[in-house]
Structure 1
Amino acid sequence: MTPKQRPELTGPAPEIVAVFGRLAGVGATTTAVNLALGLAAAGRSVLLLDLDPEGGASRAMGVAERERGGTGRVLRERAITRDMIVATQVPQLYLAPASPELASVTEALGEDDDPLTRLYQALATLPALSLDFDHVVLDCPPSLDALTSNALIAAHRILLPLAAETPALDELPALLKQVNELRAGRPQPLYGLYLLIGMRGATATSRNLIDQVRREHGRMTLATEIPFDVRLSKAETPTQPLLASGLTREISQAYLGLAAEWLMLSETGDRPDGSWRPKSSEERRARHRARLTQAIEDWRLDPLSRLYDPEQAMRHQDSQALGALFEAAAPRRRFSLAWRPGRATWLVLTLLLLAVGLSVWLHPWLTDKQRRLELAARFIGSAHHWEAGSQLLARADERAYRELLLAAQLLDTNRARLIACAERATSSGPAECLVVLPSMEANP
């Protein structure tokens, strides 16, 4: 990768990352290997240095120990040359394997006047290589010895995998103090120290411990959490990176999230101080994850890739063939509804349907004369609805409306006559009471 092809980075180039687990079994080597692969999937050129005499990172990348080259020579010669590194199965990911002499070099460091800056001096020779790296990932042994100290002094960023267990959390303050004392006064700038939490179980105790770490160490703690996988015991050292063997496992998805979050460390956020708003951060990580997933899947499907998986490629081809057959057999769609209505829209549509149904039901009553008469009669039966019923009756049959008014007038007149007659009969004896009879010719 030439400088013109290098992705835009706001941090140092190459960025040197030391991955250090204070205790064995916290997944430091697995983290270093999969972080390196994730960065390579993002289009970055990555160099992975295996500084652990056990050689776990070398085995995970499928590279056996070599008599020539490797990190033993890197430390002994204080330089990195092309014959010390090898290409791996992952495009743009190179490895300096742990050579057999690494253990003896550790003993020789004690006789040096400045034994802790050898790796720093070696990494300073990287610009002389024909390869141009964006990231250098250092896999450290699980002890704060001379090899780890060399890595911590040479790093721009330090990543500490941490088990969510009480003993590990109790030792964390002392460990952070040791790292700070080791880095004090060193020429290499330290841009950040980050804690990566590993969960052994989704229990209330572990959740409380994780909350405690986040509360006490704030932004040092990464958002990603790595679940414990019983298949990754020390007796079963992975022979290939988890991200290269498949992305369906929960732990593989977690390491995808770690790589996506690490890419964001060198990016400027959308806040004035350069940080990310929570929603923007989630969306950005999701875009990185999707891009990393697609790149890894493409490697496994490409026959020219060293990660080519024939079974995966066959399943992919079968899936495409079945999809094509289904599309050919399926009826042609005249249109597709891309819009999905929400609750408010459904409520408005329901009310409109009810209004239309009610208007359809009332339409015959309002247009048919006989039904208007029946409806008016029902309304008039109640004194409360007299006005509405009489108006409806006037619209339905004008003559019937006039007769109704005449009957009401006669009723009021005769009621007054009968009341007066009854009063006279009480005071003077029997009396003749006359009432007014309706006349069909009358015009109210």
Structure 2
Amino acid sequence: MNLSNNLTLASYITGFVQTLLLASLVSFANPLLASGDHGHGHGEEEHAEPEFEKGPHKGRLLEKDDFAVELAIFELGVPPEYRAWATLAGKTIKPGDWQLEVKLTRLGGKEDKFRFTPQADFLRGQGIVEEPHSFDVSVTATYAGKSYHWDYDSYEGRVELPAPLAQAAGLVTTVASEGVLQERIKLYGNIVADPLRLSHIQARYPGLIRSVKPSIGMRVNAGEVLATVESNESLREYPLLSPIDGTVVERHANAGEFTADRVLFSILDERVLELHLQAFPADAAQIKNGQSVVIRADGQKATTKIEYITPRHGETPTLEVHAPVDNSAGNWVPNQAVEGWVSIAETRVPLRIENRALQSFRDWQVVFIKVGETYEIRPLELGRSDGIYSEVISGLNAGDEYVVENSYVLKADLEKSGASHDH
């Protein structure tokens, strides 16, 4: 294995170990995450004994004096709904003889209120108990002119994480909002040096090179002296100046040599590079100058616009798409392979999220919202997608702050905790 492969393997192992350490650190900070008292009967994930007493219908048993209410979320063949039973001194109370109200307060302050109507042998909550089933619960029952009240929490898919740990785990958030979905064509290519920003420097008058200053890789400024040359005709020295700001990428000059008729220095202004993407004729009718292009490679992302399109030399009938790439931050290098997404149409949607925020949890596609130092899953119904963003049909609201980077750390912690689904 060569040095490059060894370095790549070492980087991979280092990243993997860091992920495990961060997940362990998050778990250490969250001893009460998604414990076994927060599910409702998805038995494949019940790894912990419930911490609340259950009634005969496998619901949560709430007791005060001789009066008891069993409250359960029922979802066998129906959308999740509340069902409740009551007893007094162990004797069943008829559904029409008592009343019940339940209020759920979710992360972020949203409240869901449920009234109940009599059924065959139970009270049935009016409305669907939306996922996730994670909330603070307030229960009020009335029987024979007397009220009974209980408050408790029932959390699932929730993580408490102080800001320093969130920063150490690399969690980055953004806000869900309306936006545009792009109909895109995916093309491949690379980033090259911009020929208009590559300067080849020769001596104005042939002669003897007396001194040379920069080495390959050094940055120089426009007007900076690169070398001094003694003219063969006048025997006077004159300076060879850099015409641009940039980096010396080639040097063919040493003190004591004759300049001859050759390039002595090549200087590249790498602050702007050029994107080359290959497009087949089938895509040609949809690609036009001025269209937006998103490029990605090695975890980097940039946006640019098509400047011009040319036929590509070679046996394959392809076109070459050209666009400038801002490299002022130094994130890109010449000859780097990239993928480019060319936008050919736009559709505005009321709410969208970035696809990289999505995680799978149970049989859902979820994102983690953030409220203060608390993170919690939000199962989503998704619509159209352009490969980078997806339309949100339900499960999230405009203005919700969600984790867009490294949410897998939160998911790993929930999976490690063995969160069940009992209420």
Structure number with bigger Rg: 1
**TM-score normalised per structure 1:** 0.19
Kindly indicate whether structure 1 or structure 2 has the higher relative contact order, using CA contacts under 8 Å at least 6 residues apart. 2
TM-score, normalisation: structure 2:
0.19
